[in-house]
Amino acid sequence: MEIKELINAAIEARENAYAPYSNFQVGAAVEGESGDIYIGCNVESASYGLTVCAERVAIWKGISRGEKRFKQIAVVVDTEELTPPCGVCRQIIWEFCGDVPVILSNLHGNTETIMMSELLPRAFDSKFLK
């Protein structure tokens, strides 16, 4: 799949973000091993701890449709500086995607691709639970 297609899906998802408190709208798109794209946007709550990030929404949507693993993920924000996933999302991305390309993009057309292992070195996963 072309990176641009994944970024465009994340841009579209971002338009549905519910961010009345932070005004920080995020869109994400993840490509499943099947080749299907799953999108997500951030959804805020007045009880901030209940807020859910776009990356997790996209991954959970894929899982709810039967996808078990993912190939790559794109995250789009409207900032000058490209914004990486938060720590919680990094953990979820690692668990369900592994060491995949994470494509960071903004609405100005800037992009950067970074491997998940660079964002979350020495990640915790199920191998430590055995």
Over the stretch 93-105, which tens digit does the pLDDT of each residue have?
999 999 999 999 9
Percent of the chain, pLDDT > 90? Answer: 93
Residues in the chain, overall count: 130
Tell me, yes or no, if 55 is annotated catalytic: yes
- pLDDT at residue 86, as a whole number: 97
Over the stretch 51-60, which tens digit does the pLDDT of each residue have?
999 999 999 9
21: left (phi over 0), alpha (psi -120 to 50) or beta: alpha
Report the C-alpha gap between 26 and 17 in whole angstroms: 6
Q: Are strands 70-77 and 26-32 parallel, antiparallel or unpaired?
A: antiparallel
One of 55, 67, 95, 118 is an active-site residue; which one? 55
Q: Has this prediction a pTM greater than 0.85?
A: yes
Report the C-alpha gap between 58 and 10 in whole angstroms: 9
